Amino acid sequence: MALQSRLPLLPPGAELLSSELAVARQEGRVILFNGGGPVLAFHEDDVEGRRLAAALVVQPDVNLASAEAVAEGLGISRSMVFDYRRRYAEGGPASLLTQRSGPKGPHKLEGERAERAQALLDEGKSNREVARAVGMSEGGIRLALRQGRLVRPRSGMGRSVGGRGPRQRNEEDRQGSAGVAVKRVEERALARMGELGEAEPRFAEPQESVTKAGVLVALPVVVAQGLFEVGRQVYGQLKNGFYGLDAVLSTLVFMALLRIKSPEQLPSHAPGEFGLVLGLDRVPEMKTLRRKLAELGARGQALELQGAFVRRWATEQPELLGFLYVDGHVRPYNGRKHQLPKTHVPRRRLSMPATTDYWVNDAFADPLFYVTAPGNEGLLKVLDGEILPEVRSLVGRRRVTLVMDRECWSPRRFEVWSRLGFDVLTYRKGRYEAWPEDVFTEHVSRDGASSREARYQLAEKSLVLSTGFEVREVRCRSDNGHQTSIVTTRRDLSVLEVVERMFSRWRQENFFRYMRHEFDLDHLPTQAVEAADPWRRVPNPERKALKKETDAVGQELARLTVAYGELALKEPEDLKTRGQDLARKIESRKERLEDLKGRIKVLPSHVPVGQVQDPATVVQLEQERKRITDQVKVVAYRAETELANLVGPFLGPHHNDEARSFLRQVFQSAADLVPDPEAGTLTVRLHSMANWRSNRALAGLCEILNSYEALYPGTRLRLVLEPPPSE
């Protein structure tokens, strides 16, 4: 309420977006206020005005409110706010004007023009084709369709593209002389001789009902994430062959979005149909895709690829790096051929060979990067050695808050990190006494996206750690009386925000679960191994064996001592016979125990792993190909997240949770591919979904994605997504 106290003249019903900005709606106008009064105003129907307002208030030199708050206050998605900010920074206010792609002309639609437009729609022409033919803008045609002055036929015949259908394509694929679905024979022959750099995507003629072509809905966002741009920046191009870098990256990202979890699953999908989505005659064979991955892995640039993506995302959305979630993910190794370090696998509740990755996610739990711990080293060591230096290189001198679980507990490091510009938000480790009930007060948390409420009983005190370093302790009391203690070095956060940020760790946990189930994050693209550091220090196995023997001798000594005592109490007359035997055994065990303790004392606690086993067998799973495929999956996940944020509002205020499920249905759906080389477009005509509500949501999503004006990689064809009729 800081804004209200400085400016008591805010109109009734004004909504605070931050301590610096408020929004009010009056007589069809949207007005933005800061501490000095009204700063921006636009009509509710003024699309360009809304874009300009969103772009201005989140500029780095202004920064009146967070992108999330502005998006909620102006009724748009967070991704759109970032897009408007970027466009404004690159091209100024003019870049936010609506770019009409069709011929500029009057929107008046009547008489012969209306009859001709309806006739073209009956023939199955797209909105863009109709607009070009009748001399109107595409927006005018869409408006006429929404108002009912034009009607798109609902029959399948009305949407015919006049191209080849699935049965005809299937027959042609089956009859391929050089292999199933192989049609570009000449280019493949040149590729075998090493005289073809790569086969370019080619969309020569319309294709009806292409299986799983709905996945092209994600392509504008995948392009915006930088998959192809960064890929070419890092790898340049592959060696001469039919499938180039763009084709390999497209295959991998489409596989991820379609939940084709490994190259071994490719043969179960029609190669010709998948090939049409790639703009080629067929999708790469399993062995071809593996060979291309091996070629990329041999270059050893996977870390450079990851770093290029992280820098791109950090530059585009620097405000999301203020809070970073850090947690480990354990990938079990089920093979028996190689000897790998063991660690505890929480979801299996046992210790087994595995690899530990520590992931860093941004403020919304979207993945940024991960670090593979050598020999399953602990979080604290990896934080100091790799994660914190990388974060500092991304954010500069800004302070960053790390949100982690109890594994990061280290009072000494908390003080060091605070001096280095890193704050900590974590659970308190160890036992602690309960606070009185009367110190807790109720706080209400509201989720702006879903309008859900959560009520917390919270209290706060100062806590002096064992090192003398003072921190804040916030406790949350549940209905059954249990108190959860949260510790932070941040002084400026409210107790409610401390709890909200800490409990938001479930987002990262859900990210791990979702990636494992949907994108098969634990899948190994290769069983190959590479040499590991033989000087890496591990617990001394000899010392461990002696400690085990020491425990056994100590337990036996305790049993003998108890037996001697019971004999002395119950049968003292037998001490001279049976007691002497027990006494000799006790003395022997004491001598053995002292000998073992002496041997343990002189042994080093850790030794190089190369001394424990043959240095030639000190290996780790190959990381290059794993990093490449994981990075593509991260791009796919971030693209799907952005699409879910865009389509969520169209599904309704309480249906954001089904956005990803909706998108999976869209990706799996069929679509018609209609290229228009003269207009420079590739129109993707999506087929109808299960109900009109879904069709309306898909129409809204397509309208936003068409504004990206994305080109199909490797071509000059602009992707145009045409949704099915929505009413």
Query: Is 245's pLDDT higher than 90?
Result: yes
Report CA-CA distances (Å) from 7 to 24, 31, 63, 312, 567: 14, 15, 19, 39, 87
Torsion angles phi and psi, residue 611, rounded to 5? -90, -20
Q: What pLDDT does residue 271 have?
A: 94
**Would you say residue 8 has pLDDT above 70?**
no
Predicted confidence (pLDDT) at residue 354 exceeds the cutoff of 70? yes
- Average pLDDT of the residues of the chain: 87
Q: Is 117 in contact with 86 (CB distance < 8 Å)?
A: no
Name the pLDDT band for 2 (thresholds 50, 70, 90).
Answer: very low
pLDDT at 162: 62
Q: What is the mean pLDDT of residues 216-233?
A: 96
What CATH architecture is 303-518? Alpha-Beta Complex (3.90)
pLDDT tens figures, 679-721: 899 999 999 998 888 999 999 999 999 999 999 999 999 999 9
**Does position 158 have pLDDT exceeding 60, yes or no?**
no
Please tell me the predicted confidence (pLDDT) of residue 394: 94
pLDDT band at 101; cut points 50, 70, 90:
very low
Residue 468: both structure tokens together: 């003398």
pLDDT at position 106: 43
Q: What's the CA angle centered on 530, arms 527 and 535, to 5 degrees?
A: 140
Tens of pLDDT, residue by residue over 441-450, are 999 987 755 5
Distances (CA, A) of 96 to 44, 88, 190, 551: 16, 7, 46, 73
Above 90 in pLDDT, residue 136? no
Query: What amino acid occupies position 356?
Result: T
Count the neighbouring beta carbons within 10 Å of the beta carbon of residue 622. Answer: 17
Q: Residue 385: left (phi > 0), alpha (psi -120 to 50), or beta? A: alpha
313: tokens are 């995302």
Is the pLDDT reported for residue 641 higher than 80?
yes
Nearest of 243, 246, 290 to residue 266 by alpha carbon: 290
401 has which bridge partners? 323, 423
Tokens representing 268 are 């179960």
- Name the 3-class secondary structure at 727: coil
Tell me the C-alpha distance between 599 and 323, whole Å: 49
Q: What is the pLDDT of residue 153?
A: 63
User: Tens of pLDDT along 165-194?
Assistant: 888 888 888 888 788 989 999 999 999 999
Distance CA 325, CA 402 (A): 6
Amino acid letter at 474?
Answer: V
AA letter at 117: A
pLDDT band at 133 (very low <50, low <70, confident <90, very high): confident
The pLDDT assigned to 104 comes to: 46
SS3 151: coil
pLDDT at 671: 95
> CB 406: neighbour CB atoms within 10 A?
11
What percent of the chain has a predicted confidence (pLDDT) above 70? 93
- Whether the CA torsion 575, 578, 584, 586 is positive or negative: it is negative
Residue 119 tokens read as: 């006739």
Lowest mean pLDDT across 15-24, 181-190, 209-218, 538-547: 15-24
Q: For 347-443, where are the alpha helices, taking DSSP H only?
A: 379-382, 388-395, 411-419
Helix (H) or strand (E) holding 339: none
pLDDT band at 231 (very low <50, low <70, confident <90, very high): very high
As a whole number of angstroms, the distance between CA 456 and CA 437 comes to 13
φ, ψ of residue 207 in degrees (nearest 5): -130, 130
Q: Is 719 in contact with 216 (CB distance < 8 Å)?
A: yes
- Statement: residue 154 has pLDDT above 50: no
pLDDT reading at 156 higher than 70: no
User: Is the pLDDT reported for residue 47 higher than 90?
Assistant: no
Q: Are 120 and 129 in contact (CB under 8 A)?
A: yes
Alpha helices by DSSP H, 603-672: 609-612, 624-651, 659-668
pLDDT in tens, 362-418: 999 999 999 999 888 899 999 999 999 999 999 999 999 999 999 999 999 999 999
Name every residue whose Cβ is closer than 8 Å to that of residue 610 and which is 6 or more positions away in sequence. Answer: 534, 535, 618
Residue type, 669: S
The length of the chain, given as a count of residues: 727
* Percent of the chain whose predicted confidence (pLDDT) is above 90: 56
Per-residue pLDDT, 727: 61
Report DSSP letters for 185-217, one per residue: HHHHHHHHTT--S-PPP---S-EEEETTGGGGG
The pLDDT, as a whole number, for residue 155 is 41
Half-sphere exposure of 7 (CA within 13 A, CB side): 17
For the chain, the C-alpha Rg in angstroms (whole number) is 32
Q: Which two tokens stand for residue 177?
A: 């002389």
DSSP 211-254: TTGGGGGGHHHHHHHTHHHHHHHHH--PSSSSS-HHHHHHHHHH
3-state secondary structure of 721: strand
User: What 3-state DSSP class applies to 447?
Assistant: strand
Q: 23 in the Ramachandran plot: left (φ > 0), alpha (ψ -120 to 50) or beta? A: beta
Q: Give how far the C-alpha of residue 315 lies from the chain's centroid of Cα atoms, to the nearest Å.
A: 17
Q: Rounded to 5 degrees, what are φ and ψ at 119?
A: -65, -40
DSSP 3-state assignment of 96? helix
Which pLDDT does position 49 carry in this prediction? 82
Report the C-alpha gap between 276 and 161 in whole angstroms.
15
Give, in order, the Cα–Cα distances in Å from 364 to each of 295, 323, 368, 371, 641: 35, 9, 11, 19, 10
In three-state form (DSSP H/G/I as H, E/B as E, the rest C), the secondary structure along 302-322 is: HHHHHHHHHHHHHHHCHHHHC
- Cα 521 to Cα 222, 291, 362, 516, distances in angstroms: 19, 21, 19, 5
* Confidence (pTM): 0.79
Q: Which strands sit side by side in the sheet containing 15-18, from one edge to the other?
A: 15-18, 21-26, 29-34, 37-43
Look at residues 435, 551, 417 and name the one whose alpha carbon lies nearest to residue 485: 435
Q: Is the pLDDT of residue 4 over 60?
A: no
pLDDT tier, 488 (very low <50, low <70, confident <90, very high otherwise): very high
Mean pLDDT to the nearest integer, 218-222: 97
